[in-house]
Amino acid sequence: MSVVALYPGTFDPITLGHVHLVERASLLFDKIVLSVAESPNKKPLFDLEKRVELARKATAHLDNVEVTGFSGLLAPFARKHGAKVLLRGLRAVADFEYELQLANMNRALEPELDSIFMTPVERFSYVSSTLVREVARLGGDIDQFVPPDVAHAFKEAYQN
């Protein structure tokens, strides 16, 4: 039996922490569907198409990773892709309460969908998309936190 894991998020932008988590998960599951959420309420810097493009470039070296955009509820999207696992990253204890609520809600909506939490390696434990956007907006160097294509996209976004 093939096990498909869905890794959902806004990925605004995808960071090296996200990529490292996907790399590790790709060794555990037959297929990873990195699912970029439209998330209009979060007012992302990059539109959905750009975030999907950047995530595809960042994970192109992984044969069992598919990147796709989505909007709407996660549970039916997971069902559509045959996913039995939701992959979520936990950077700190502060993330846990919210992630636990999401896991329980998704299980209520789709009982066969289990959430698995992975923690980052120490060098990425403090990296978040929110912090990366703030550093970039203020003119800081984000090269150590994001893939090269993402750093380039930020330079283009803030040149205009």
Known catalytic residues?
A: 18, 42, 91, 129
Structure tokens at 50: 């750009």
Euclidean distance between CA atoms 107 and 25, whole angstroms: 21
Question: Can you spell out the DSSP letters for 77-132?
Answer: HHHHTT--EEEEE--SHHHHHHHHHHHHHHHHHSTT-EEEEEPPPGGGTT--HHHH
List the strands of the sheet with 114-118, edge to edge.
65-70, 31-37, 4-9, 85-89, 114-118
Q: Tokens 């203020």 correspond to what residue? A: 138
Euclidean distance between CA atoms 87 and 151, whole angstroms: 25
* Cβ neighbourhood burial of 55 (10 Å; 0-12, 13-18, 19+): buried
Structure tokens at 89: 């990253």
